[in-house]
Amino acid sequence: MSGEFRFSFGPWNIHEGHDPFGPAVRDSIAFNRKLGLYRQLGFGAVQFHDDDAVPNLNDLSPAQIAKEARGVARALKRHGLAAEFVAPRLWEDPRTIDGGYTSNDARCRKYAIERSLRCIDIAQELGTDLIVLWLAREGTYIREAKDSRVATQRILEAVNTMLAYNSKIRIAIEAKPNEPMDHTYIPTTGHALALGQASVDPARVGANIESAHAILAGLDPSDEMGFALAFDKLWTVHLNDQNGLKFDQDKTFGSVDLRRAFNQVRILDIHGYGRGGEWVGLDVKAMRTQKKPAVAHLSNSREIFLRLLEISRSLSDARLKAFIAARDYEGLDLYIMQSLLGK
């Protein structure tokens, strides 16, 4: 079985270049102009935060939110694009300073749940059943601030509330071990899937795996993907790259460790990723030094993915099997390296 690959990204991946130490360096590109770039760059679907689709949704009634979202659905149609998923942005509002679902303030937890339900409404209007949960601030700066058992149960309750609110949606949890928090609850795919199994409807909880997040947890992204694939739980991916254990860099896919990227492409391809309608999301950030419109990191990531796919598919099955049967992993190693080097 081989994969079928179509590509997506989020509007946040075309970015003004601000970082924690300096302001924007490029003009903003309006959302509608960004939509016009997707096809040109080789992409067919948009990943959304709830407020990418409906800015200021906190100030709108559910009916107004639905109306705005229908306008976005029409714009997608005009551009020939699909909506892949919608994710509640639970890390910017003052009410989520101490986390959303795990906040120590009951009013803030209530806000986080309400916001998540509006996110589901938006997904419904955009024609997707997939909700991504990146649990950005569900964690602590100091351990004594929250009780990890209680926090885990609160995240589970939130997931259950969302599943009960709409019987069609599926939730892909995006694990990350740190940043913005010192320690995040649900730091790995294993945690995410265990939580899903404990939910009221395990069949509707899966994973979004981001390469950089796995690396930050000290794990290999392709093995994380294999783990989720073993349970048919890999519902989307955020491919990118990452230089060691530091802040989340969202570098161009394959630009740090080509072999690590190759193995992600390979595990996806071998197990038919995409045949169930899954998209390949590229969660990559342009360098701050790049002049506008700064979109090459997207098309470059896609190109690197496709080139690695070609290399993976060009490997001789017989040779791979022979190396494995002879337990000649030195030979296998060199064969892979030569293939990556274009020899």
Catalytic residues: 49, 52
Task: Give which of Mg ion, ligand XLS, none residue 278 binds (C-beta under 5 to 8 Å, depending on kind).
Answer: none
CB of 318 to ligand XLS, least distance (A): 40
Give CA–CA dist 15/128, Å, rounded.
Answer: 24
Cis check for the bond before 180: say yes or no (omega within 30 of 0): yes
Does 266 help bind Mg ion (rule: CB under 5 A)? Answer: no
Q: Which CB, 111 or 323, lies closer to ligand XLS?
A: 111
Cβ neighbours of 55 (radius 10 Å):
12
Give CA–CA dist 199/206, Å, rounded.
Answer: 11
Which helix (DSSP H) or strand (DSSP E) does residue 9 occupy? Answer: strand 7-9
Q: Which CB, 88 or 226, lies closer to ligand XLS?
A: 88
CB of 208 to Mg ion, least distance (A): 7
Q: Which among 230, 156, 218, 144 has a CA at the least distance from the CA of 186?
A: 156
Does 241 help bind ligand XLS (rule: CB under 6 A)? Answer: no
Q: Binding string, 75-104, against ligand XLS, x = CB under 6 A?
A: ------------x-----------------
Structure tokens at 178: 């740190």
Instruction: Provide the residue count of the chain.
Output: 343
Task: Give which of ligand XLS, Mg ion, none residue 87 binds (C-beta under 5 to 8 Å, depending on kind).
Answer: ligand XLS
Q: Which residue stretch of 50-58, 188-196, 206-214, 226-234 sits at the interface with Mg ion (rule: CB under 5 A)?
A: 206-214
Amino acid at 204: R
Does 210 help bind Mg ion (rule: CB under 5 A)? Answer: yes
Q: Which CB, 218 or 342, lies closer to ligand XLS?
A: 218
Does 224 help bind ligand XLS (rule: CB under 6 A)? Answer: no
Is 70:77 a contact under the CB 8 Å cutoff? Answer: no
Q: Which residue stretch of 189-197, 231-239, 288-296, 320-328 sits at the interface with Mg ion (rule: CB under 5 A)?
A: 231-239
Give CA–CA dist 17/51, Å, rounded.
Answer: 20
Cβ neighbours of 341 (radius 10 Å):
9
Residue numbers at the binding site for ligand XLS (CB under 6 A)? 49, 87, 132, 134, 174, 210, 238, 283
